[in-house]
């Protein structure tokens, strides 16, 4: 195997490889955004210090996930020459809308 990837290759989920890469980065951010909401369900079920400490960390993780996504997008744009906005405009239906991710 040469290590070269055909970024236009269509996967079984209907996305191209590059669409899948970018979409997975976005889905990771969406997952990070869900974590504090899910954690808040435990409010009052454990000590307040532990609850708040974890909530603060989960909330901070959202910004970290966004920064990581943006850096990865920048790297893939540079490597492939394919701009995120143009690639993502070609996706009409997100799998996470069809199949609830992490719900």
For position 85, what pLDDT does the model report? 94
Q: Is 16 helix (H, G, I), strand (E, B) or coil?
A: strand
Task: Using a cut of 0.75, tell me whether the model's pTM lies above it.
Answer: yes
Instruction: Name the more confident of 103 and 75.
Output: 75
pLDDT band for position 93 (cuts 50, 70, 90): low
Q: How many whole angstroms separate alpha carbon 55 and alpha carbon 41? A: 11
Which letter, b or e, does each residue of 42-68 get, where b requires 16 or more Cβ atoms within 10 Å of its Cβ? eeeeeeeeebeeebeebeebbeebbee
Structure tokens at 54: 């974890």
Instruction: Name the more confident of 51 and 93.
Output: 51
Q: How many whole angstroms separate alpha carbon 85 and alpha carbon 1? A: 30
The DSSP secondary-structure symbol of 10 reads B
Nearest Cα neighbor of 55 from 69, 71, 42, 74 is 42
């Amino acid at each position: 195997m040469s290590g070269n990837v055909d970024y236009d290759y269509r996967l079984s989920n209907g996305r191209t490889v590059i669409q899948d890469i970018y979409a997975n980065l976005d889905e990771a951010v969406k997952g990070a955004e869900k974590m504090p909401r899910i954690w808040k369900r435990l409010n009052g079920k454990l000590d307040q210090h532990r609850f708040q400490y974890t909530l603060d960390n989960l909330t901070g993780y959202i910004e970290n996930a966004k920064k990581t996504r943006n850096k990865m997008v920048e790297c893939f744009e540079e490597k492939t020459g394919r701009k995120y906005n143009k690639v993502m405009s070609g996706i009409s239906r997100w799998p996470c809308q069809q199949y609830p991710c992490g719900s």
